[in-house]
Amino acid sequence: MSFSVTILGSGSAVPTSRRNPSGQLIECSNRYFLIDCGEGTQMQLRKFGVKFQKIDQIFISHLHGDHYFGLVGLLSTMHLMGRERKISIYGPVGLKSIIIGQLDRGGSKLSFQIHVEEIKPNTSTVLFEDEKCSVRCFPLSHSIPTSGFVIEEKSKEPKLMYEKAKKDGILIEYYHRLKKGEDIMHDGRLILAEEYTETKSKPKQYAYCSDSGYQELTIENVEGVDVLYHEATFVEVLKDRAIATYHSTALDAANIAKKSGAGKLLMGHLSARYETGDLHLKEAKTVFSNCQVVKDGERYVID
Amino acid sequence: MSFSVTILGSGSAVPTSRRNPSGQLIECSNRYFLIDCGEGTQMQLRKFGVKFQKIDQIFISHLHGDHYFGLVGLLSTMHLMGRERKISIYGPVGLKSIIIGQLDRGGSKLSFQIHVEEIKPNTSTVLFEDEKCSVRCFPLSHSIPTSGFVIEEKSKEPKLMYEKAKKDGILIEYYHRLKKGEDIMHDGRLILAEEYTETKSKPKQYAYCSDSGYQELTIENVEGVDVLYHEATFVEVLKDRAIATYHSTALDAANIAKKSGAGKLLMGHLSARYETGDLHLKEAKTVFSNCQVVKDGERYVID
């Protein structure tokens, strides 16, 4: 199964020629999720060769413009390109009226249905779930209600140990039930599923945390994720500014990664004042070595 | 005096890698006007090296997203970059509530004042005027209320013919009044202003017409302009589609240019289906030879 994130925008509120406002495409077992949709996201999707009609779920973290000003434009383009399939959008209270209002003002009627599910402030819940993956949200610490998201690729079914089952004379009709983890009583003999199946692999998880100041609640919510994307708007010399604006420094992001036991840390949402992410990387590595500052257009495999 | 237009976006509703949604920067005697502000306009301004804090007036033609979805993002960036000077925005009824609504939702309070003047449907009026230039609007023919704009660089003051005035012994205290076009009676002699001043040059005009189907009303309103920008979404084989969607073909644009006696025609707002503007140019030239299909980033001098 495939699980990856493509960075569409890794800048903060003021876009630069190097970094677009926030946007990420998550591909998880052939589900395509868009997280945040800053201005220009549709151009970035096109630039990086993403077939954006595949996106069926969009998650908006909060209502600062650099996280959603590209949303209605993207929906309009999907419409003009003949989309018929429903799209689901999850975001803060108020998002629905913005979308409906802008479409109405333009006299636009989309060719497809949109389902907007608003997330109340301070909510932790599963927003999307099917047989392949799930997306849950939890509250971040920002100046307006903001959600972080964790995407989980569900465990594969346990694998049956065919040779052993055959050798021990287990009836074929029991194979399916054993794979589902069911123990079976046959002719007075207990056949244990765990003896005939290989252990499940741990479900892979990716977490998205932007925008947010440092908070312990994030650590609980992203515990053990394989890859953590955490905003790092500033470096330590601007710690006061980070606190005042409910943003993080690179060191904050690294501490969250370390304390949560994340496998890898990706940092983004860099302030326009930084030409490169070198300082961020240097500071973060003092605490958590497996980290990287992302760039627009890069794709990271979650493994 | 300087008078030019820089193309920020020349595409239509679906942006492409070649053409951003609509946006133009007009520089007229050191006034900087932004006309339309499609998604990504602030990135285009940056890309093309425009100092966008110089913009004090923004004109929005209509409320289709490809003409204004970049507006609140641009205002937010102006704020984050420390703008203090007031900005005036002219656009259709409904624009004010969109701007205020989006800023409110994000909990944003701008560091500068915005004055939004809404244009009622079917209005022809002067929106802005100072000693150097004026901007007036008139109704275009589109599916929702839409305005065209004409920017006029005011005539320079007549130039005094100093040598002649000196030779004829005209008193220096009369020079200023003569330059203002005032005739003067002195010692029983009538001194005619027109005899001591050089003829005014014709004021230069630039017209912006997007989006619109072909209409005679446009011809009246752009009569004799030096440069006419007119949308040419389609070419003639899609004339039916142009009519149905209230857009123009290249031939429509050329006919407007010809009938209005425009000096030059610039065509834009090309549908994403066209890789180049070659077909548009070929068709338009059969009617009006001095024409061009614009490209993003190009600057045209109005002369």
| pLDDT computed for residue B187 by the predictor | 86
pLDDT, tens digit, 9 for 90 and up, residues A186-231: 888 899 988 898 866 788 999 999 999 999 999 999 999 999 999 9
Q: Given this model, what pLDDT does residue A105 score? A: 87
- What pLDDT is attached to residue B201? 74
Of A46, A69, A70, nearest to B17 by CB-CB distance is A46
Q: Does residue A300 carry a pLDDT above 90?
A: yes
Distance from CA of B164 to the nearest CA of A (A): 57
* Predicted local distance difference test score (pLDDT) of residue B1: 64
* Set A36, A66, A226, A252: catalytic member: A66
Angle at A164 between CA A160 and CA A165, to 5 degrees: 65
Which of A96, A156, A176, A143 minimizes the C-alpha distance to A246? A143
**pLDDT by 10-residue block (mean), chain B, 303 residues:** 94 93 97 98 95 95 97 96 97 95 88 97 97 97 98 84 90 88 89 84 92 98 98 98 98 98 98 96 98 97 93
For the cut 80, the answer to whether the pLDDT of residue A131 exceeds it is yes
Q: What is the pLDDT of residue B258?
A: 98
Chain B residues within an 8 Å CB radius of A42: 15, 39
Size of interface A-B (CB pairs under 8 A): 96
Reported ipTM:
0.86
Dig out the tokens for A288 from the structure: 């958590």
The owner of tokens 């030096």 is: B226
In A, residues 144-173, which contact B (CB 8 Å cutoff)? 144
- On whether any CB of chain B is under 8 Å from the CB of A60, the answer is no
Strand (E) positions, chain A? 3-9, 23-28, 31-37, 55-59, 87-92, 114-119, 125-129, 133-139, 147-153, 159-160, 184-186, 189-191, 197-198, 204-209, 227-231, 264-268, 291-293, 299-301
Q: Quick one: pLDDT at residue A200?
A: 64
- Give the pLDDT of residue A158: 77
Q: Which domains does chain B have, with CATH numbers?
A: 3-156+201-301 (3.60.15.10), 159-197 (no CATH)
On the question of a cis peptide bond just before residue A211, with omega within 30 degrees of 0, the verdict is: yes
State the virtual CA torsion across B141, A98, A53, A22 in degrees, nearest 10.
120
Least confident of A160-169, A266-275, B211-220, B221-230: A160-169
pLDDT of A127 above 70: yes
Euclidean distance between CA atoms A92 and A137, whole angstroms: 11
Question: Which residue in the block uniquely carries the two structure tokens 């992001």?
Answer: A253
Q: Locate tokens 């958590």: which residue? A: A288
Q: Which residues pair with A190 in a beta bridge?
A: A185
pTM for the full predicted model: 0.88
Asked if A73 lies within 8 A of B69 by C-beta distance, the reply is yes
* Amino acid B56: pLDDT: 98
Q: Judge whether residue A124 has pLDDT over 70.
A: yes
CB of B81 less than 8 A from some CB of A: yes
Nearest residue on chain B to A12, judged by CA atoms?
B77
- CB-CB neighbors (< 8 A) of A247 in chain B: none
A153-167, A286-300, B214-228: segment of lowest average pLDDT: A153-167
